[in-house]
Amino acid sequence: MKIGFLGLGTMGTPMALRLAAAGHELSVWNRTEGRTKPLLREGAIAAGTPAEAELGADAVVSMLLDDAAYEEVFFGIHRLIDALSPGVLHIACGTVSVAFSERLAVEHARRAIDFVGAPVFGLPSDAVEGWLWVVAGGVEQAIDRARPLLAAFARGVTIAGHEPSQAFAVKLAGSFVPPRFLIPVEGAPGP
């Protein structure tokens, strides 16, 4: 599958590397150009803009930092939202606010673009090993299209609902749960 991958930070780079190792053809973009080098060594193509990364892609996976980064790429200087091809799948793995994800969903729907909110739980080392956990939200058809890509870097997927914003709500809430409640510790009392 042809994938445009946006955002090659400490989580995005190993996620993209796993997609490349799974045999997907990647076109990669990052705001800091030098971050593309590890992917280029694995056969990815460097894109000069987010729109160039999307060109001819079946899917776009974004692992951008926050609302401000998504704003810049999709609605600001790069205006990727206007360059996305109808029918393309966008999987947003970075963490954004519920309000911003709702805005993304509306704009994607207006353009007939499948949108899946798919924020991840885990550390960079989990991304390297393919052991991230994904919380996904979106219509069933879009999630079904996303599953093979998510499988490249995740050990599991929890479906939060039919709206992408539901996945981001779970991610944001989960970010405030103390780790001791997420990982069972032998001999520790239960909740």
Retrieve residue 131's tokens.
């052991």
162/22 Cα distance (integer angstroms) = 27
Retrieve residue 72's tokens.
């810049």
The residue to which tokens 């798919």 are assigned: 118
132/152 Cα distance (integer angstroms) = 10
Which residues partner with 26 through β-bridges? 3
Whether 171 is catalytic: yes
Retrieve residue 1's tokens.
């599958």
Q: Cβ–Cβ contacts within 10 Å for residue 62, how many?
A: 25
Which residues partner with 59 through β-bridges? 3, 89
Catalytic residue among 18, 35, 108, 171: 171
Q: Give the DSSP letter of residue 132.
A: E
94 within 8 A of 62, measured Cβ to Cβ:
yes
47/90 Cα distance (integer angstroms) = 17
Phi and psi, residue 116, nearest 5°? -120, 125
Catalytically annotated residues: 171
